Amino acid sequence: MLRVSPNQRFLSTEEGRPFFYLGDTAWTLFQRLDRAEADRYLQDRAAKCFTVIQAVALSEFDGLSVPNSYGDLPLHGKDPAKRIALAPGCHGRRRCSCRAPRKCSMPED
């Protein structure tokens, strides 16, 4: 957990050590990449000592109407009250790499 330092000049860890914020933006990380591509990207950024990755859950550019790499949309009918709920540990509804039985709490369209 990060906190604002007591002097309000930097972010610090729970232990009080300064946190260096070196970020990269991957705005459509969750929409455009599959799990293997995302893992490769995150490993690359970790190797380059990035400490933060900024991404959005719902992309502003067709993020509600263009399916992700697994063919799923984030919401039913573009309604935020009707999000797609995946089973814990599942990485995608249709082509899940974990091979877990499909246990989505929302019915198919």
pLDDT at 54: 96
Using alpha carbons, list the distances in angstroms from residue 46 to 15, 18, 87, 92.
22, 18, 28, 24
pLDDT at 6: 92
- Whether the per-residue pLDDT at 97 is higher than 50: the answer is no
**pTM exceeds 0.95:** no
Q: Which tens digit of pLDDT belongs to each residue from 24-69?
A: 999 999 888 999 999 999 999 999 999 999 999 888 778 888 888 8
Confidence of residue 107 (pLDDT cuts 50, 70, 90): very low
CA pair distance 76, 106, nearest whole angstrom: 9
